């Protein structure tokens, strides 16, 4: 281009996206004040974003979709989807296996406008929650009278997690010649479900053993729960001064006392010495038989963590390691410092459990003891996040390399144990601060590493896209808001790089 009146041409070889930080007059020359529906190609080019296609190849695809999660089963990468009927007020959860196969609804709950979800050993754990007005603010917490549910991943109905003790009369008699320590023992049975949950000891019955005989059991109660697959004999050691009360003693699993079904009613000729009773079963008495629903689920050190129940918004319930349905009502509890706000989110990072409220972040570290003893560290008393405000990568949770992507009131931040300044959203600070804070629970963020994009569902149901092909740096990320005919409610990634959006019927 020839010079005009000594004006030197300005070469724009790159376009760096939206600038919405301060006065429009301060917009850098390589940014736009408005760049809706722009997609970035490579490191320097851009084009209009692509259109949408229907992800379900069926006659009646799911509609009025409120929430989608990636669900990794034992055999496939699938999705778990919440639809909501505004006429009935019922939320229904479906399992979308692929474009042509959908199971469900596997769970339908009145008032379920959202749900928390984690996948563990191929099973899906589902916690229904809703949004409740508290003064001028809204709180997300578990629905009253609702529970944590477990889904097998096979199209069968989701069922309540955990379970109650076996009940019924147990007959005990001397067996064949054998050995026991003489004295009064209390016997009972523990049931195990298909998902590995062990019930509290039930059908407790006392019996005076003698040294020269084994013990046999008849009319052993079966469980009314069709998911029970095994039953285990438990017993106390010999009790001195037995008063007739079958509870209040320490119970142990009896070696050789396993029934590998839920049908047999006899277990004969069991011999044991009290010194053989090593594996404690008493802790099972203190576990929740029904786990109340919460607004947040995550995994930490192979433990399920559930937060913000209807009755206690600052409470986090933490399961036993490797037993996501075994939550002790005494020492499996963490109470985040009270400030009138509910726990909104939690996430493991670098071997630490971080728990978030809307404007607070704290951490707990597993010290090898029960969760109620884990030490508290206050990370930030001003910054926190919402119920879906931590970026996830596929089914791996929020940890991507060595950081989290967290949506706070202040902006979109990198978090590596502290919030890193400046925020990733530095260039669009005004745009972010103009969002409706009362609707931040509608925000959902994902990190799509193949596309090198952060994608965020906004309170106004647009999608904010941040392309980081030029670097994960506040000044190099290129932002663009995307608008669709349908207002977007939710987003997730499946099959490595397939972006799935959920919306209401237009």
pLDDT over 70, % of the chain:
95
Q: Is the pLDDT of residue 112 over 50?
A: yes
Q: Is the pLDDT of residue 400 over 70?
A: no
Q: Name every residue whose Cβ is closer than 8 Å to that of residue 163 and which is 6 or more positions away in sequence.
A: 191, 193, 197, 199, 225, 227, 228, 289, 325
pLDDT over 90, % of the chain:
78
pLDDT at 395: 41
pLDDT at 115: 97
pLDDT mean over 370-376: 97
Q: Is the pLDDT of residue 204 over 90?
A: yes
pLDDT mean over 309-327: 96
C-beta atoms surrounding 109 within 10 Å: 25
Q: Do 319 and 326 contact (CB within 8 A), yes or no?
A: yes
pLDDT at 495: 83
Q: Is the pLDDT of residue 3 over 60?
A: no
Q: Is the pLDDT of residue 399 over 50?
A: no
Average pLDDT, the chain: 92
Confidence of residue 12 (pLDDT cuts 50, 70, 90): low
Q: Is the pLDDT of residue 398 over 50?
A: no
CA-to-CA distance for 457 and 448, rounded, in angstroms? 14
Confidence of residue 23 (pLDDT cuts 50, 70, 90): confident
Q: What is the DSSP letter of 249?
A: S
pLDDT at 36: 93
Q: Is the pLDDT of residue 195 over 80?
A: yes
**3-state secondary structure at position 427:** helix
pLDDT at 392: 62
Q: Name every residue whose Cβ is closer than 8 Å to that of residue 248 and which is 6 or more positions away in sequence.
A: none
Confidence of residue 45 (pLDDT cuts 50, 70, 90): confident
Confidence of residue 10 (pLDDT cuts 50, 70, 90): low
pLDDT mean over 50-72: 87
Q: What are phi and psi of 209, to 5 degrees?
A: -85, 160
CA-to-CA distance for 338 and 342, rounded, in angstroms? 9
pLDDT mean over 50-63: 83
**pLDDT for 353-363, tens place per residue?**
999 999 999 99
pLDDT at 54: 83
Q: Is the pLDDT of residue 5 over 70?
A: no
pLDDT at 449: 87
CA-to-CA distance for 396 and 495, rounded, in angstroms? 13
Q: Is the pLDDT of residue 420 over 50?
A: yes
Q: Is the pLDDT of residue 396 over 50?
A: no
Tokens of 306: 């559930």
Q: Is the pLDDT of residue 85 over 70?
A: yes
Q: Name every residue whose Cβ is closer than 8 Å to that of residue 160 and which is 6 or more positions away in sequence.
A: 147, 148, 149, 150, 290, 291
pLDDT at 209: 96
pLDDT at 432: 96
pLDDT mean over 191-213: 95
pLDDT at 201: 96
What is the chain's length? 506
pLDDT at 315: 97
Q: Is the pLDDT of residue 394 over 60?
A: no
Confidence of residue 276 (pLDDT cuts 50, 70, 90): very high
Q: Do 67 and 113 contact (CB within 8 A), yes or no?
A: no
């Amino acid at each position: 281009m020839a010079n005009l009146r000594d004006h030197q041409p300005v070469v724009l070889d790159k376009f760096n996206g939206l600038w919405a930080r301060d006065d429009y007059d301060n917009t850098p020359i390589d940014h736009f004040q408005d760049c809706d529906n722009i997609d970035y190609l490579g490191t320097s080019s851009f084009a209009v974003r692509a259109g949408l296609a229907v992800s379900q190849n069926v006659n009646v695809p799911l509609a009025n979709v409120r929430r989608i999660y990636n669900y990794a089963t034992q055999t496939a990468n699938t999705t778990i989807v919440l639809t909501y009927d505004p006429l009935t007020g019922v939320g229904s959860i479906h399992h979308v296996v692929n474009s042509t196969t959908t199971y469900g609804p596997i769970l339908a709950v009145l008032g379920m406008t959202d749900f928390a979800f984690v996948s563990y050993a191929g099973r899906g754990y589902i916690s229904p929650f809703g949004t409740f007005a508290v003064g001028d603010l809204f709180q997300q917490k578990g629905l009253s009278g609702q529970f944590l549910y477990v889904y097998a991943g096979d199209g069968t109905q989701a069922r309540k997690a955990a379970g109650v003790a076996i009940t019924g009369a147990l007959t005990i008699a001397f067996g064949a010649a054998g050995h026991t320590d003489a004295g009064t023992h209390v016997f009972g049975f523990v049931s195990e479900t298909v998902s590995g949950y062990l019930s509290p000891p039930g059908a407790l019955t006392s019996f005076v053993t003698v040294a020269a005989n084994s013990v046999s059991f008849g009319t052993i109660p079966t469980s009314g729960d069709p998911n029970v697959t095994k039953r285990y004999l438990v017993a106390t050691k010999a009790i001195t001064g037995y008063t007739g009360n079958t509870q209040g003693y320490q119970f142990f699993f009896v070696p050789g006392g396993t029934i590998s079904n839920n049908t047999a009613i006899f277990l004969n000729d069991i011999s044991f010495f009290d010194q053989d009773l090593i594996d404690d079963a008493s802790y099972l008495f203190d576990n929740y038989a029904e786990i109340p629903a919460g607004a947040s689920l995550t995994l930490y050190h192979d433990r399920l963590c559930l937060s913000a129940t209807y009755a206690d918004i600052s409470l986090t319930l933490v399961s036993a390691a490797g037993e996501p349905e075994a939550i002790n009502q005494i020492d499996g509890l963490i109470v985040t410092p009270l400030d009138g706000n509910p726990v909104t989110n939690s996430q493991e990072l670098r071997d630490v459990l971080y728990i978030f409220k809307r404007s607070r972040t704290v951490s707990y570290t597993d010290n090898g003891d029960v969760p109620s003893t884990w030490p508290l560290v206050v990370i930030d008393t001003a910054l926190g996040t919402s119920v879906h405000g931590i970026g996830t990568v596929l089914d791996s949770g929020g940890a991507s390399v060595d950081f989290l992507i967290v949506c706070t009131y202040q902006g979109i931040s990198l978090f590596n144990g502290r919030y890193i300044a400046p925020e990733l959203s530095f260039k669009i600070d005004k745009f972010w601060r103009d969002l409706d804070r009362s609707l931040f629970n509608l925000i959902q963020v994902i990190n799509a590493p193949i596309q090198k994009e952060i994608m965020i569902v906004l309170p106004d149901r647009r999608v904010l896209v941040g392309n980081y092909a030029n670097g994960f740096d506040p000044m190099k990320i290129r932002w663009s808001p995307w608008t669709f005919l349908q207002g977007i409610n939710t987003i997730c990634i499946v099959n490595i790089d397939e972006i799935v959006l959920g919306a209401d019927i237009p």
